[in-house]
Amino acid sequence: MCSSSRGGGYAGPELALGLLIGANVGIFFLWRILSPTFMQSNFVASAAALRSGRLHTLVTSAFSQYELHHLLSNMIGLYFFGNEIARIFGGQKLILLYLTGGVVGSLSHMAYWAYLKPWFENYQFVEDERTEGRLELSKPFSGSSGAVNAIMLLDILLFPKRIIYFNMILPIPAALFGLVIIGSDLWAATDGNKHGTSPAAHLGGAVTGFIAFLKWRL
């Protein structure tokens, strides 16, 4: 059995979920209102941002989506999986899991581009004064995928036999759904990430969800 803190703490389940979704939607509109330079400097995680002391981007990037389809897919996952996690563990733990998954996802993305992707592609890294380290190979990252994956995997681990509709059509057990998601991310990572997503961020979020399951289920 899993522990429960229903409604406990300062953020109730509905409030916590509403705050997370509201922050994502709000920042989506900020991309259309504020200067692109300001948004890229403060809502996108990158090696340059960390080097310049903008550590807050590790958190703000986890709420930052520019494309509508990216926002909608993440918010649908956050609503359906996050709603249950908030009811079981409380709003504060939902927010904590979201933030942790987001930060770990961003760091995983950077580590992948700096170390694993060059290794997969047999790239010989030469450190010089211009690159200032391996992390300079990393592409900037934003999006709530890592955070949502942490929440989704925790829910799947708690209820592995539940039926989930894959792509809103095919009914499959939650455990199989989780394996498909993780397997596709592993494949994308090893095949050079040719599809424009960030499999490392997804996997970093999934690892966060797994650790939360080990710590919170008792």
What are the residue numbers of the active site?
A: 145, 202
Q: Residue 212 has which token pair?
A: 């939360």
CA-CA distance, 59 to 62, in Å (whole number)?
6
CA-CA distance, 29 to 26, in Å (whole number)?
5
CA-CA distance, 212 to 201, in Å (whole number)?
17
CA-CA distance, 81 to 72, in Å (whole number)?
14
Q: Residue 169 has which token pair?
A: 């059509």
For residue 169, give every residue at least 6 positions away whose Cβ sits within 8 Å of its Cβ, in sequence order, or none: none
Q: Residue 126 has which token pair?
A: 């030469």
